[in-house]
């Protein structure tokens, strides 16, 4: 990798994850209920925060201790990781992606979709594509499409668009409803070869793949997205930082452990922050790059903040099979820890951040 690697590493290797202030000087920022008082006043959908002072009593907060071997090697398809109460996962043996693909996770992603749509005021962030997508026969691909909810929304507004989705979960891509909606979903792994010819799509969208994209493979995965995109077509990436900002004690305990474990698995807890540095690795194919960062209040500030709090809480519960083992906590203690975070977010005005970045492909 080139000169940007040191910056990527700097963000990844910091242990004081939850106290960092997001960098905002190099991007356009939409503050949606951020902790900044000035912007809070002007963020129309985040008025009259409701504070929740309730403190969980059951879980006694202790310093996070991560079993590094479990954190690193846990794999939902490895019998050594299996437990009776486990949730359902994709069945790809060589992928250690560790969020479930069950109905509860689909509900969470649907919630998250509405939060992001409100924050970016559109399903498609790139202004050029917002117009082009109305062209009959415009061909789009969603990579890591899960249950295809984003595609369904785009197709509803643009019925003439040809919609394709690809995911490592066979369960999700086989859902019959999508074939009926004229959306073509199929199995595919962006870390290997996507099942499409070169130069197939006008627009390729990839959102929230942070837990499926090891740092070292990120640039090659971008090259794969570029391969299937037409010259002059667009790529849009939307990613979150896994750390939470303005974290209280429960959130610091949880995110420090998560950060440690994810880093050992080669993942990037600062995917939103680092997105531009990954894109720099493929700069020979990048034109007209634009980006937009959003700060989202967690469980406070407005209905959308409440929804985002529920989304992130469900996300941490989705990581329970991996996290409770790697933190060496009982399931009950882990759930109490997550509940502790959820209860303290309003008090600490905690927030998370996403970055949307798009560029036109030059070949
Ligand atoms: C957090 S979900 C996000 C889903 C959707 N993009 C959204 O924003 O609602 C991540 C999805 O990416 C899929 N995924 C993980 N690794 C992948 C890979 N290497 N190739 C394709 N899909 C992958 C997962 O199965 C999951 O459905």
Q: Assign domain 5-361 one CATH number from 3.20.20.140, 3.40.50.150, 3.30.479.10, 3.30.70.1560.
A: 3.40.50.150
The pLDDT, as a whole number, for residue 52 is: 41
Residue indicated by tokens 């117009």: 131
Mean pLDDT of the chain: 84
Q: Is the CB of 267 under 6 A from ligand 1?
A: no
218-273 residue pLDDT tens: 999 999 999 999 999 999 999 999 889 999 999 999 999 999 999 999 999 999 99
Q: Is the CB of 205 under 6 A from ligand 1?
A: no
* pTM score over 0.75: yes
Q: Is the pLDDT of residue 209 over 60?
A: yes
Residue to probe by mutation, ligand 1, list 89, 106, 141, 146, most atoms within 8 Å of CB: 146
Q: Is the CB of 208 under 6 A from ligand 1?
A: yes
Q: What is the secondary structure of 179-196 as a DSSP string?
A: HHTTEEEEE--TTS--SS
For ligand 1, what atom is nearest to the CA of residue 90? 25
Q: Is the CB of 189 under 6 A from ligand 1?
A: yes
- Specify the range with the lowest mean pLDDT, choosing from 27-31, 97-101, 191-195, 300-304: 27-31
The pLDDT, as a whole number, for residue 235 is: 98
The whole-number average pLDDT for the span 142-158 is: 94
For ligand 1, what atom is nearest to the CA of residue 116? 8
262-280 residue pLDDT tens: 999 999 999 999 999 999 9
Q: Is the pLDDT of residue 37 over 60?
A: no
Q: What percent of the chain has pLDDT over 70?
A: 81
The pLDDT, as a whole number, for residue 48 is: 30
The pLDDT, as a whole number, for residue 65 is: 83
How confident is residue 31, by pLDDT bands cut at 50, 70 and 90?
very low
- Specify the range with the lowest mean pLDDT, choosing from 39-53, 118-132, 137-151, 291-305: 39-53
Residue to probe by mutation, ligand 1, list 87, 149, 164, 168, most atoms within 8 Å of CB: 168
Q: Which residues pair with 29 in a beta bridge?
A: 293
For residue 7, the CA-to-ligand 1 centroid distance in Å is 26
The pLDDT, as a whole number, for residue 11 is: 37
In this structure, what token pair is assigned to residue 189? 């792994």
Q: Is the CB of 311 under 6 A from ligand 1?
A: no
For residue 169, the CA-to-ligand 1 centroid distance in Å is 8
Q: Is the pLDDT of residue 20 over 70?
A: no
Q: What is the secondary structure of 104-167 as a DSSP string?
A: HHHHHHHHHHHHHHHHHTSS---HHHHHHTTSTT-EEEEET-TT-HHHHHHHHH-TTSEEEEEE
Name the burial class of residue 63, with classes exposed (0-12), middle (13-18) and buried (19+) by CB atoms within 10 angstroms of its CB.
Answer: exposed
The pLDDT, as a whole number, for residue 96 is: 85
Name the burial class of residue 122, with classes exposed (0-12), middle (13-18) and buried (19+) by CB atoms within 10 angstroms of its CB.
Answer: middle
Closest residue (by CA) to atom 16 of ligand 1?
212
Q: In what order do the strands lie in the sheet with 162-167?
A: 28-32, 286-297, 351-361, 229-240, 201-207, 139-143, 162-167, 183-187
- Specify the range with the lowest mean pLDDT, choosing from 166-170, 180-184, 232-236: 180-184
For ligand 1, what atom is nearest to the CA of residue 238? 8
């Amino acid at each position: 990798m080139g000169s940007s690697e040191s910056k990527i590493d700097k963000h990844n290797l910091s242990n004081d994850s939850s106290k960092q202030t997001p960098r905002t000087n190099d991007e356009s920022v939409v503050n949606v209920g951020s902790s900044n008082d000035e912007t809070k006043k002007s963020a129309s959908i985040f008025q009259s925060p409701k504070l929740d002072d309730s403190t969980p009593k059951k879980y006694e907060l202790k310093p996070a201790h991560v079993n590094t071997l479990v954190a690193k090697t846990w794999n939902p398809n490895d019998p050594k990781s299996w437990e009776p109460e486990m949730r359902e996962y994709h069945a790809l043996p060589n992928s250690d992606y560790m969020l479930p693909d069950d109905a509860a996770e689909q509900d969470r992603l649907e919630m998250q979709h509405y939060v992001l749509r409100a924050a970016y005021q559109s399903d498609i962030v790139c202004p050029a594509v917002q117009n082009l997508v109305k062209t009959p026969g415009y061909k789009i691909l969603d990579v890591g499409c899960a249950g295809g909810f984003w595609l369904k929304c785009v197709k509803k507004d643009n019925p003439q668009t040809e919609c394709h989705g690809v995911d490592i979960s066979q369960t999700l891509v086989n859902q019959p409803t999508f074939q009926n909606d004229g959306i073509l979903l199929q199995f595919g792994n962006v870390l290997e070869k996507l099942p499409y010819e070169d130069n197939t799509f006008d627009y390729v969208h990839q959102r929230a793949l942070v837990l499926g994209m090891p740092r070292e493979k990120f640039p090659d995965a971008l090259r794969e997205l570029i391969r299937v995109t037409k010259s002059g077509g667009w790529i849009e990436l939307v990613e979150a930082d896994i750390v939470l900002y303005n974290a209280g004690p429960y959130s610091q305990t949880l995110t420090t452990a998560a950060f440690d474990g994810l880093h050992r698995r080669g993942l990037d807890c600062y995917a939103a922050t680092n997105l531009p540095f990954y894109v720099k690795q493929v700069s020979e194919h990048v034109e007209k790059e634009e980006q937009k960062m959003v700060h989202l209040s967690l469980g406070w500030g407005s209905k959308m903040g409440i929804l985002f709090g529920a989304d992130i809480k469900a996300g941490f519960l989705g990581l329970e099979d991996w996290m409770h083992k790697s933190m060496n906590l009982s399931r009950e203690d882990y759930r109490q820890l997550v509940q502790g975070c959820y209860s303290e977010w309003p008090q600490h005005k905690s927030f998370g951040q996403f970055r949307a970045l798009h560029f036109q492909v030059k070949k």
